[in-house]
């Protein structure tokens, strides 16, 4: 017969104590993992927002440096002697508008939306393209430059690049936008005898989404002396349909700011009336926007010197 006194084991109380200690250890490990994982996700989300902002700012800077570029008049290996047939001076004809402009850079303050100049009836007068919006978002910039294309019937071309914003959110309490880009070409032919901007050329496009979850896009224009070229009386930047149009060729530097928000909640708690989360603007007339949700908002600010603009 087996002697029960020699059998070794654990009592129920000992097992329960071991389970409890293991549960406490696993809970502590899970809590530590959650903290580390949340911190990692926050750093990753912030890095994504910042990186995408820098990439898009770099794209816009590259295009801004094209503004005003053109080939000099003169003979070339294609036998073309002059390109002046593409020139159009804004305001020289009473029925021309700012939308016909060839001026190198035009900025529209707090303007949403943009319609490219493809008229359904084939006329050369483009439709109205911009509208003011009460959200104070976002500035629109148009960039015009010239280029030479051997393979096309119209060897010398002028292009217009436009960056603009459109609302993307479906919830009125959670407003964000998308940055869109359009590329148009100025043509003069039998269809457009007076010339017109079109977006149907082979290399053109319209309504191309560049990035979503935009909060604000801002451009400030300065001359060679560092003077801000914003007209406080008309509340506009220099443009060809007002008296400050001469300043269009004094633009020497552009400060730009892009602000984006995270796609998912970033903070654990919402902001309060006493401590809202702020997104600061560049200009003194741009008040800080206040938010009380859980999203992260990050801004990228840069300054670019234009290369090809100047009063002749």
Q: What is the pLDDT of residue 91?
A: 54
Beta-ladder partners of 107: 141
Q: What is the pLDDT of residue 130?
A: 44
- Give Cβ neighbours of residue 28 (< 8 Å, ≥ 6 apart): none
Sequence spans of domains, the chain: 21-305
pTM above 0.85, yes or no: no
- Give Cβ neighbours of residue 250 (< 8 Å, ≥ 6 apart): 223, 224, 229, 238, 311
* Digitized pLDDT (tens) for each residue of the chain, 312 residues in all: 556 566 666 677 878 888 888 888 888 888 777 777 666 666 676 666 677 778 899 999 999 999 988 766 555 565 555 454 566 556 556 667 788 888 899 999 888 888 765 544 444 444 444 444 456 688 999 999 988 776 666 677 889 999 999 988 777 777 889 999 999 988 877 777 778 888 888 889 988 999 999 999 999 999 989 999 988 887 888 888 765 567 888 899 999 999 998 888 888 888 888 888 888 888 665 667 888 888 888 888 999 999 888 755
Q: State the Cα–Cα distance between residues 229 and 112, nearest whole angstrom.
A: 21
Contact 139, 111 (CB under 8 A): yes
């Amino acid at each position: 017969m087996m002697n029960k006194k020699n059998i070794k084991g654990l009592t129920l109380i000992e097992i329960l104590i071991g389970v409890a200690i293991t549960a406490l250890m696993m809970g502590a490990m899970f809590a530590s993992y959650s903290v580390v994982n949340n911190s990692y996700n926050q750093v990753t989300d912030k890095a994504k927002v910042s990186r995408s902002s820098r990439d898009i700012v770099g794209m816009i800077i590259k295009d801004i440096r094209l503004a005003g570029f053109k080939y000099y008049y003169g003979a070339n290996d294609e036998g073309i002697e002059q390109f002046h047939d593409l020139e159009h001076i804004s305001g020289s004809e009473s029925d021309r508008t700012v939308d016909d402009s060839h001026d190198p850079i035009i900025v529209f303050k707090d303007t949403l939306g943009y319609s490219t100049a493809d008229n359904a009836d084939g006329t050369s007068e483009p439709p109205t393209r911009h509208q003011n919006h009460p959200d104070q978002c976002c500035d629109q910039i148009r960039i015009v430059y010239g280029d030479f294309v051997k393979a096309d019937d119209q060897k010398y071309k002028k292009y217009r690049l436009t960056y603009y914003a459109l609302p993307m959110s479906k919830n009125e309490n959670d407003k964000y936008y998308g940055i869109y880009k359009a590329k148009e070409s100025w043509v003069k032919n039998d269809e457009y005898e007076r010339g017109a901007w079109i977006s149907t050329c082979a290399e053109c496009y319209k309504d191309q989404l560049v990035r979503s979850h935009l909060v604000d896009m801002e451009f400030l224009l300065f001359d060679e002396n560092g003077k801000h070229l914003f007209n406080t009386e008309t509340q506009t930047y220099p443009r060809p349909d007002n008296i400050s149009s001469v300043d269009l060729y004094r633009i020497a530097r552009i400060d730009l700011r892009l602000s984006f928000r995270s796609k998912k909640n970033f903070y654990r708690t919402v902001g309060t009336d006493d401590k809202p989360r702020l997104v600061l603007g560049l200009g003194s007339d741009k008040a800080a926007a206040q938010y009380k949700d859980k999203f992260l908002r990050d801004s990228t600010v840069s300054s670019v010197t234009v290369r090809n603009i100047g009063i002749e």
